[in-house]
């Protein structure tokens, strides 16, 4: 079984070779990709927090939804997360 150090010795050079074109181009595409990925992760975490902290509930006696904005906020954050992820992967 390989140790983590042995795996790192093979993985890190491959990552450096893969990132070399972006680094030779001033590193800006790589920085933008990382920033978009961080935005995607933050929006996804925020969406999960809103979804868990303020769950969408129906009114008593089946009178319909109570129109809390939590579902809309969670959906908007998830949309931001997906768009940021797509941008991060295409930068």
Host H or E run for residue 29: helix 28-53
Write the pLDDT tens digit of every residue in 27-50.
Answer: 677 778 888 888 888 888 888 888
At 32 the pLDDT is 81
Averaged pLDDT of the chain: 72
Question: pLDDT-derived band of residue 22, with 50, 70 and 90 as boundaries?
Answer: low
Instruction: Give whole-number Cα distances, 67 to 21, 34, 61, 62, 76, in Å.
Output: 49, 36, 15, 13, 15
pTM equals: 0.56
Dihedral class, residue 23 (left if φ above 0, else alpha if ψ from -120 to 50, else beta): alpha
């Amino acid at each position: 079984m390989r140790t983590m150090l042995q795996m790192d010795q093979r993985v890190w050079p491959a990552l450096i070779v893969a990132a070399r074109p972006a680094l030779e181009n001033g590193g800006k595409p790589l920085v933008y990709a990382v920033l978009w990925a961080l935005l995607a992760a933050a929006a996804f975490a925020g969406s999960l927090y809103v979804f868990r902290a303020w769950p969408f509930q129906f009114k008593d006696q089946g009178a319909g939804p109570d129109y809390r904005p939590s579902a809309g906020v969670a959906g908007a954050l998830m949309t931001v997360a997906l768009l940021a992820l797509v941008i991060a992967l295409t930068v």
